[in-house]
Structure 1
């Protein structure tokens, strides 16, 4: 007879996700994951609250154009594809992609001025799966 294994600790496994907020790539990753991080506030994670508050402050301080702000809102706040956001905005997918990219760079510049480096968020694997459903 074969043997098998069951991971009885699977629901409690945790991992960390790091965001280099002084880079456009790190800001884009944080924007992508901000819904999941926001949910952690309601589970008592005060660090998650701080990250989300700082992200919103950085967005407000970044001096985004109307198109950049709208692109970020459709793509990251509403979770639309670049193509869908472009259709709503009446521009091309590439125009939305460019606007989001420039917005991420501007937000990263704000975090650089604030001397932010990398922030790390601890994520429970089960919570991440629950948030995706």
Structure 2
């Protein structure tokens, strides 16, 4: 059975702790947004021996590839959740599109990523899903 990660924060929001569990956390859009938002703190956890963080980031990387996002969707994710962490308004200015379109591209991208995580959970593992598509 595949695993999905959930991201938990303490009340002070000073530490991010990755927990690998079989939940619906990453099969919903809200869970994907939290994971994207906390990408950099999670990535830092790799250096403290947090293997769950490594697994979670590898799964996210695979899900992003499998989601087959459009160039615009990738651009919006990169601007909003990349190193600059822009707001939707700032992303709209940077991308040269309306804020409404930023919201639409973001929603579509997150829905595609969540769909990938759901397909992995429903089929037992991402390896089984990828093998069946290759085959």
Asked which structure has the greater RCO (Cα within 8 Å, sep 6+), the reply is 1
Asked if residue 91 in structure 1 is aligned to residue 97 in structure 2, the reply is yes
- Deviation at 1:22? 0.5
1:71 to 54, 73, 76: 76
Q: Deviations over 1:51-104 (max 9, x none)?
A: 011101101110111110110010011311111111111001121111111100
- TM-score of the aligned structures, taking structure 1 as reference length: 0.71
Asked if residue 101 in structure 1 is aligned to residue 95 in structure 2, the reply is no
2:104, 2:82 → 1: CA distance? 17
Aligned to 2:86: 80
Q: Size of the alignment, in residue pairs?
A: 104
Counterpart secondary structure, 1:114: helix
Q: Which runs of 4+ in 1 moved over 3 A?
A: 13-19
- TM-score of the aligned structures, taking structure 2 as reference length: 0.70
1:62, 1:83 → 2: CA distance? 25
Counterpart secondary structure, 1:99: helix
Identify if the C-alpha distance between structure 1 residues 94 and 42 changes in structure 2 by more than 3 Å, giving closer, same or farther: same
